[in-house]
Amino acid sequence: MSAFDYKVLPAPRRGLKARGVKSTEERFAHALEQEMNRLGAEGWEYLRADTLPCDERSGLTGRTTTFQSVLVFRRARPAASHAPVIAAPVIAAPAPMAIAAPEPDVVAVPIPETSAEPQADVRPDAAKPKAARSAKAAAG
């Protein structure tokens, strides 16, 4: 059983100009010939032309039916791909590795020297004599 891929393209609406091609019919045939030769070079085989109805909007709520001409091409699928294939993602297991623990880095941190004497109070009020502080508190 053969399986095919299909390609459907809109038929050309205008002909192509070319040397020696004068009439509208000749230009239209030339446009079809160019499209068929291009797809034939890619392996597509011309199958048929169809004219199919197409519903389109007309105004806000209206609908009209127009007819669209399409060209149908097909080509045989490669022999290996007759059945649809659903590929599952492949996740490779990591290879086992021997990992040695790194040596800890020793960093010398200087320790500030401590003195036996207590540090003086560095608050702004602490620098004033006790008598000045109490006089200020009594006045205020």
Res 65: pLDDT = 92
Note the pLDDT tens digit of each residue in 21-65.
888 888 899 998 999 999 999 999 999 999 999 999 888 888 999
Quick one: tokens of 35? 């499209």
Q: Give the pLDDT mean for 95-112.
A: 64
Note the pLDDT tens digit of each residue in 59-93.
888 899 999 999 999 999 887 655 555 665 666 66
Res 140: pLDDT = 56
CA–centroid distance for 138 within its chain: 78
Our CA dihedral for 115, 118, 120, 122, rounded to 10 degrees, sits at: 90
pTM score: 0.51
User: CA-to-CA distance for 140 and 133, rounded, in angstroms?
Assistant: 11
Helix runs in the chain, H state only = 24-41, 130-139
